[in-house]
Structure 1
Amino acid sequence: MQSESPTKAKIGRSAAVIGIAVLCSRLLGLVREQVFAGLFGAGFAYDSFVVAFRIPNLLRDLFGEGALSAAFVTVFSDYNTRKSLDQTWQLASNILSFFAVALSLIVLLGIFCAAPLVDLLAPGFALTAGKSELTVTLTRIMLPFLVCISLAAVVMGILNTKGRFFVPAIASSFFNLGSIIGGTSLAYILPEYGYPAIAGMACGTLIGGLLQLAVQIPSLYRLGFRYKPQLRITDPGLLRVLKLMVPATIGLSATQLNIFINTSFAASCGQGAVSWLNYAFRLVQLPIGLFGVALSIAMLPLLAQQASLKKIDEMKETMTSSLTMVFALTLPATFGLIFLSRPIIMLIFEHGAFTAADTMATAQTLGLYAVGLFAYSANKILVPAFYAINKTKYPVIASFIAVACNLIIINLTIDQFQHLAIALSTSVTMILNFIFLLTVLNREMKGLPLAQLIKNLAKILCACLFLSLILFLADSYLPSLLSSHISLQITSLFATIILATGTYGICLHFLGLEEMQLITKKVLGRFKRS
């Protein structure tokens, strides 16, 4: 066996810590979706909530968490490497002040323009009496979430750069806890005062956003950071962040345009279409968060540091190892979600107001979303690499290519497949995006070790064949168990997943995938110490 690479070990350790925290968050996120499914099912109220929440989420990705996080980590890592501690903390204080003010102004503008925003995003809602009005009310309640979550992203960037990964990753669990406990409580209380129950869940979103920010503050304090109110717009560090954010925001605007297009089409596909797409994508986000996001968060500070020190060969090793880990973790998840979509949806969501017809529609959607899972997660790895080497225009180009492809595919398939056309288009455009980004990055970095990556991918696909065989055989007995007692449903589904996962892991170990051997070594080491 090859000696353990320090880069691979560092990424693996950080990603494992983040993965555990993200797993907690995603599981709580599923509980949150279960609450929605049980209380509201798939239809009028939840359709309205999804679109209303999408508006601050669009703005969050556009101005806050996405573009801001990538740009801030790049500049903050450089300050942390090259500048004094006092200068580094001054930058952090100034960034927090600037974005607290700027995003608050955006929120006020959004509240004022909520009605036209809803009409623009979901014109089909106007065909159902009261649906647009409810969505406007929920939008106004949830818009301040943008400020909380964006400031939480800045704090996360500081902690990650300083090597603190667990607390920022677990912080989103507190968002889900606030949403579940606060939202559910208010959903039962508010109707007594004449407000719709779904408004309680909207208030829960605000509570969750505040908790996600607040839970990170003690860790920041222990690092020695003391916030000093200041707003210096001409500060070179702030200007660098804003300069980096411009192409990132433009690139993300294309992604948000895709979401806008998809939401608009879904809102016109009839009652429940928005809900089915959202429930399915929430499930697909579990492996994306566990693998793509966890590896991206672990990799970004390391990649930024390597770029700052001009260690190109180490950057290539970081990229190849990270992509291999993404493929090794997401491809089996893809096959699992395709084969087991119906029993998974039935077990998690088919309770209360969520019907068997909702299960079938959501399961079909999930299977199509799963096809692009590996590409979606890999893009989370590729995009930060372009920021690290200061080639930010390429993710922008890729995003606009994705918009064009998305529009073409949806328009060609929407009449025949309805909401399923949106899930299909999302997967296809993510795969095309991945191919484009990998090709350009290979050229810009003067050649990635693609031969090694392809060799690793072949081993992963070979192991996936054995996993698929287990899942295919399980298909013969699972349908008969779906109508049985819930304990038998849970046992049979988990037994299938464990057997398939075990088979996959054993195959990869004997095929000699270095990243798998590293994970096995770490796991066995923990058991021995225990």
Structure 2
Amino acid sequence: MSAAASDQTGRIARSAGAVGIAVFCSRILGLIREQVLANLFGAGTAMDAFVVAFRIPNLLRDLFAEGALSAAFVTVFTDYDERWGRARTWRLANVVLAVLTLLVGAIALVGIFASDKLVRLMAPDFALVPGKTGLTVIMTQIMFPFLPMISLAAVVMGILNAKGKFFVPAMASTFFNLGSIVSGVALAMILPRYGVPAIIGMAVGTLLGGGLQLAVQTPLLFRVGYRFQWVIDWRDEGLRRILRLMTPAIIGLSATQINVFINTFFASSCAEGSVAWLNYAFRLLQFPIGVFGVAISIAAMPVVSRYASQQDHEGLKQAFTSSLVMTLLITIPASVGLAVLAEPIIALIFQHGRFSAADTGQTAAALCFYAIGLFAYSGVKVVVPVFYALNDTRYPVIGSFLAVGANFLLIILTLSTLQHRAIALATSFSMILNFVFLSSVLYRKVQGYPLKYVGWCLVKVCLASAIMGLSIHWANAFLQPLAGAGLVGRLFALLCIITFGLVVYGFLLRFSKIPEFQELIKLLQGLGGQRATRP
């Protein structure tokens, strides 16, 4: 690897490290939020209703905020920043923020009035349980204004990322979780005194958390030079470029949301609690996706966009390859660890209050199947921005619809046998198909990237992960008596097992000569050194 490529790998690793630390904090609080929900509401009617109610505006958030809009905006904003100067760049930001406020605000308003129909469409079997549909509708209406708040927060995050600011935007979701936990729990304790279901408090808390996620980024936004002006210009060329990029991307992401709709539809027809089991399992899967996959994607996106803007395809390929290898280095062992330790992890985090041992078993079964596709989830987040940077969103659209077809077919074939586990398995399989398709198309589109190098790295990582998996399986069996010694015993045993697994994996890859692994080690050593030198 050349000196320039090594420096680029290090830069992406450092940026990803900053994002990863921030996202780690957010995911920890996210898990605490799920713990609170599990403890207060278990996996029954109230929790099923909350999951579906939150999922409806969340589907649109993925379309208009953290998915299509975010990637398209960063691509165009970075290009403006490189080529057109400060005034035009900030004007573009104001145009996008103003137009987004109007459009997404109108969508949220329509969604509030159409909540009843949306809930009955997404979860028709909820009507079989008295009051379940009505409860879901009320919470959907409460949480719909979350959509414009989080959409504006995504644009602000894109501006800050393009300006090289990663930590604060990534920390913003930490404040969402913190705000939703504190306000949600407080309201959940107060509202039942007035005859209002406690779960409604968590819905209101979610809305307040979304507002906090936007508010916490605004001071830094002004420090990087932004000044708000209400500018609506539908003819603005930058806005039109973003919309052109977004349109096929929205079609592609709509396929992903169709998958979510299909999964929710089938899950609502399974045993009571299936929606909640799948939700808890997927929340755990989102921890490594967010900390590693999203962090690397966010760090690499401005780099890839600048190379594309400069027509430097060699630099673009190097940035993509480094990002992909870093993703594989982290997510493959993480998927093995989640599969092997699914039950003890879920028991430690969720098995309290109204969340039973039976709930732990069902959630762990779903997590094992979700873990199969972890590397693909994160890999897609790295691959798709490259297509955006190259102004080609056709193939992500095609890949998304291939994933929909595969997901639907596999659920139909396995639902009667596997029940809710079929949904997790189908989700993983469809994401792997999407990742393989996009990686293959990109290889042809950029006239090849170092596939042999990626392949050898993959072999080394898989071998090390398999040995690590066997090691932690043995360690889990050995420390099983500690797991029965209460919460402290379970926590101590799990920490020992995870530490042992990391040591085994790190030792096996120490002599692998994978530059990205060396950069990750340097990053960890640098973080440790910074802590050591602090007064």
**Deviation for aligned residue 1:11:** 0.4
What is the rounded CA distance, in whole Å, between the counterparts of 2:385 and 2:351 in structure 1?
A: 38
Deviates more, 1:220-229 or 1:462-471: 462-471
What is the rounded CA distance, in whole Å, between the counterparts of 2:516 and 2:2 in structure 1?
A: 11
Residue of structure 2 equivalent to 1:240? 241
**Deviation for aligned residue 1:77:** 0.6
Residue of structure 1 equivalent to 2:428? 427
Residue of structure 1 equivalent to 2:445? 444
Deviations 1:318-344 (A, max 9, x none): 111111000000011011001100000
Residue of structure 2 equivalent to 1:324? 325
- Classify the secondary structure of the residue corresponding to 1:476: helix
Letter in 1 for 2:274: A
Residue of structure 2 equivalent to 1:162? 163
Letter in 2 for 1:161: A
Confirm or deny that 1:396 pairs with 2:397. Answer: yes
- CA distance change for structure 1 residues 236 and 66 in 2, over 3 Å: closer, same or farther? same
Residue of structure 2 equivalent to 1:340? 341
Deviations 1:260-286 (A, max 9, x none): 000000001021000000000000000
Deviations 1:286-327 (A, max 9, x none): 000011100000011110110000000011111111110000
**Deviation for aligned residue 1:247:** 0.4
- Classify the secondary structure of the residue corresponding to 1:129: coil
- CA distance change for structure 1 residues 527 and 127 in 2, over 3 Å: closer, same or farther? closer
Deviates more, 1:519-528 or 1:215-224: 519-528
Residue of structure 2 equivalent to 1:356? 357
What is the rounded CA distance, in whole Å, between the counterparts of 1:64 and 1:518 in structure 2?
A: 31
Residue of structure 1 equivalent to 2:119? 118
Deviations 1:390-426 (A, max 9, x none): 1210000000011111111000000111100000001
Deviates more, 1:59-68 or 1:147-156: 59-68
What is the rounded CA distance, in whole Å, between the counterparts of 2:355 and 2:67 in structure 1?
A: 33
Letter in 2 for 1:188: M
Q: How does 1:370-519 map to 2 (within 5 A)?
A: 370-519=371-520
What is the rounded CA distance, in whole Å, between the counterparts of 2:167 and 2:527 in structure 1?
A: 18
Could you tell me the percent identity over the aligned residues? Answer: 54
Residue of structure 2 equivalent to 1:128? 129
8 Å contact kept, 2:281–2:367: yes
**Deviation for aligned residue 1:124:** 1.0
- Classify the secondary structure of the residue corresponding to 1:297: helix
8 Å contact kept, 2:23–2:170: yes
Residue of structure 1 equivalent to 2:174? 173
Letter in 1 for 2:363: T
**Deviation for aligned residue 1:527:** 4.3
**Deviation for aligned residue 1:464:** 1.2
- Classify the secondary structure of the residue corresponding to 2:130: coil
8 Å contact kept, 2:179–2:205: yes
What is the rounded CA distance, in whole Å, between the counterparts of 2:519 and 2:177 in structure 1?
A: 32
Letter in 1 for 2:400: S
Confirm or deny that 1:14 pairs with 2:15. Answer: yes
**Deviation for aligned residue 1:356:** 0.5
Unmatched 5+ stretches in structure 1: none
Letter in 1 for 2:167: F
Residue of structure 2 equivalent to 1:99? 100
8 Å contact kept, 2:483–2:493: no
Letter in 2 for 1:326: T
Residue of structure 2 equivalent to 1:72? 73
8 Å contact kept, 2:62–2:68: yes
Residue of structure 2 equivalent to 1:202? 203
Letter in 2 for 1:240: R
- CA distance change for structure 1 residues 95 and 413 in 2, over 3 Å: closer, same or farther? same
TM-score (norm 1): 0.98
Deviates more, 1:268-277 or 1:454-463: 454-463
What is the rounded CA distance, in whole Å, between the counterparts of 1:48 and 1:526 in structure 2?
A: 42
Letter in 1 for 2:450: P
TM-score (norm 2): 0.97
**Deviation for aligned residue 1:483:** 2.3
What is the rounded CA distance, in whole Å, between the counterparts of 1:48 and 1:98 in structure 2?
A: 32
Residue of structure 2 equivalent to 1:187? 188
Deviates more, 1:454-463 or 1:250-259: 454-463
**Deviation for aligned residue 1:472:** 2.1
What is the rounded CA distance, in whole Å, between the counterparts of 2:514 and 2:239 in structure 1?
A: 43
**Deviation for aligned residue 1:503:** 1.2
**Deviation for aligned residue 1:510:** 1.4
What is the number of residues matched between the two proteins?
A: 530
- Root mean square deviation, CA, Å: 1.2
**Deviation for aligned residue 1:2:** 7.5
Letter in 1 for 2:519: L
Deviates more, 1:471-480 or 1:133-142: 471-480
Residue of structure 2 equivalent to 1:275? 276
- CA distance change for structure 1 residues 422 and 448 in 2, over 3 Å: closer, same or farther? same
What is the rounded CA distance, in whole Å, between the counterparts of 1:76 and 1:121 in structure 2?
A: 36
Deviations 1:439-486 (A, max 9, x none): 000000111110110111111122113212211212323443332121
Letter in 1 for 2:313: I
What is the rounded CA distance, in whole Å, between the counterparts of 1:139 and 1:365 in structure 2?
A: 25
Letter in 2 for 1:280: A
8 Å contact kept, 1:2–1:514: no
Letter in 2 for 1:33: E
8 Å contact kept, 1:26–1:286: yes
8 Å contact kept, 2:143–2:203: yes
**Deviation for aligned residue 1:523:** 3.0
8 Å contact kept, 2:336–2:466: no
Residue of structure 2 equivalent to 1:33? 34
Residue of structure 1 equivalent to 2:264? 263
